[in-house]
Each structure stands twice: as C-alpha cells, then as structure tokens.
Amino acid sequence: MSKEFRHILRITDADVDGTLKVSFALRKIKGISLNLANAILKKAGIDPHTRAGFLTEADVEKIEEIIEDPVKHGIPNWFLNRRKDLETGKDQHLISADLVLKTKTDIEQMKVMKSWRGYRHAYGLKVRGQRTKTTGRSGKALGVKKKALVRPAAPEGG
C-alpha cells in the first residue's frame, strides 16, 4: 500500500476534494454534516486531521460501509436525517440524490394532502413561520420613487 496522494476521491458516488481534511471532505457529500462525519471517522478508526487524498482504498470502503448503514455500526439514531419514515416506519439516513428525491416527494405529498405546509410550498410563501410583512417580497419594490434625471438636449448640427 503506497501513500500516493489523490486530488479527487470518489466516495458514495460523490467527488470529494483530496486536499481537505477528511472530516471536511466528507461534508461535501450531500446529507453528511460535520458531526456525522466525525462520528463516521471515529467508528472507522481514521484520524480526522489527515488529508482525504491520503486515504487508502480500504479506508474509503470502510467509510462507505458506515455511511450506508450508520445504525448498524453504533451511530445513534439522532444523527440520522430521516427518522420514522412514513412508508417504512424505520430510521434511515439518506444521502445525495436519494435525499433530494425524497424531499421532493414529501413536498408533493404535502401539496396533495393540502396541508398548511403544502399550501405554503405551492404558493411560494415562507413555510417555517418566518415573518412575511417586510421580508420575502418579490416583484416590484415598494417605497418612494426617485425623480428621473432630465438631460439637456444635445445641440444639433454640431
């Protein structure tokens, strides 16, 4: 096993920058936070301060295995991003395209149910209780109009 540096790694179908430290490089995978990345590295037995480009293939496989099923490797349920799934009732952790697809289907389901959140999503309004009186305005700006500057006419025949 040579310690050859790789500038780009492929971890769970995502390109990861090899110049970053491993914990920050794992954050580039959609669905993995810094805390989860540190927990994964601790379970894999990898030093979080090493550069991602120096990881061996065995290390990458170990990381991918833990990302695939974090609960099986002893990572607590509260780290997961999809607990008590509506269809299966199980705790899951979704990453990359699966996470995006599941979020879109959840929003579509809320729209079909005509829930309050679905209504807000459908009409492009704020969903999470933010104020809307002054922020989130789209379209024409409100307020005082400035007078248009009048330019003097150019002399003719000059």
Residue 103 has pLDDT above 70, yes or no: yes
Distances (CA, A) of 82 to 91, 114, 128, 129: 6, 22, 18, 22
The CATH number linked to 12 is 1.10.8.50
Residue-wise pLDDT tens digits, 25-81: 999 999 999 999 999 999 999 999 999 999 999 999 999 999 999 999 999 999 999
Structural domain boundaries enclosing 72: 8-79
Look up tokens 């009048």; give the residue: 150
Q: Look up residue 33 and give its two tokens.
A: 């936070």
R_g of the chain, CA atoms, integer Å: 25
**Per-residue pLDDT tens for 111-129?**
999 999 999 999 988 999 9
37: in domain: yes
In this structure, is residue 84 part of a structural domain? no
Would residue 151 count as lying in a domain? no
In a domain, residue 133? The reply is no
Hunting for tokens 């061996």 — which residue is that? 56
With 0-12 CB in 10 A as exposed, 13-18 as middle and 19+ as buried, what is 23?
buried
Domain membership of residue 141 (yes or no) is no
pLDDT band with cut points at 50, 70 and 90 for residue 148: confident
pTM of the model: 0.74
When mean pLDDT is compared across 83-87, 95-99, 127-131, 150-154, the lowest value belongs to 150-154
Quick check: is 88 in a domain?
A: no
Assigned domain for 61 exists: yes
Distance CA 151, CA 154 (A): 9
Place of tokens 């090899």: 18
Domain count, the chain: 1
In a domain, 108, yes or no: no
